[in-house]
Amino acid sequence: MKRLALPLVLGSLFLAPAQASAADITGIWATATEGGRVEIYRCGRALCGRVVDAARLRGNPDLRDVRNSDASLRQRRIKGLVVLKGFTGGPVEWKGGPVYDPETGDGASTGTLKLLANGKLELKGCLAVFCRTKIWTRPAGR
């Protein structure tokens, strides 16, 4: 019995990390514009994302959400701003929302995150029937 259990345990140790890393989208992603960086992290049983860096933030670390269409939210700091909430699913596609783009001030009530075969992440945000898609990549050296 012990001889059978050891190969199963060792096999699971080698197999589990490979499976987890293949579809693990947590970590830092480079957005398509303004040198943005978003960290995708676990928030309870879901995934969320927050702004960690951008070209405009390097010039002004205290930058506020001035492009937001909701005037009451324009004093929020961009750095640390949660832009993805409540995404569940996997291992290749997650659904959730809301999604917010501080570069434009646009938001979407629902969205999808899809890990592409080339390792890039497709982010789609939809408001009613209108959708916008962006492709994020892993920054070099990460």
Total Cβ atoms within 10 A of residue 72 = 7
CA distance 40 to 142: 14
Model confidence at 47, in pLDDT bands (50, 70, 90)?
very high
Is residue 8 in a domain? no
Question: Domain residues for 112?
Answer: 24-136
CATH code of 116's domain: 2.40.128.520
Check pLDDT > 50 for residue 27.
Answer: yes
DSSP state of 81: -
Model confidence at 22, in pLDDT bands (50, 70, 90)?
very low
- pLDDT, position 142: 56
- pLDDT, position 141: 67
Is residue 14 in a domain? no
Check pLDDT > 70 for residue 138.
Answer: yes
CA distance 25 to 90: 9
Cβ-contact 79, 59 below 8 angstroms: no
Check pLDDT > 70 for residue 21.
Answer: no
User: Total domain count for the chain?
Assistant: 1
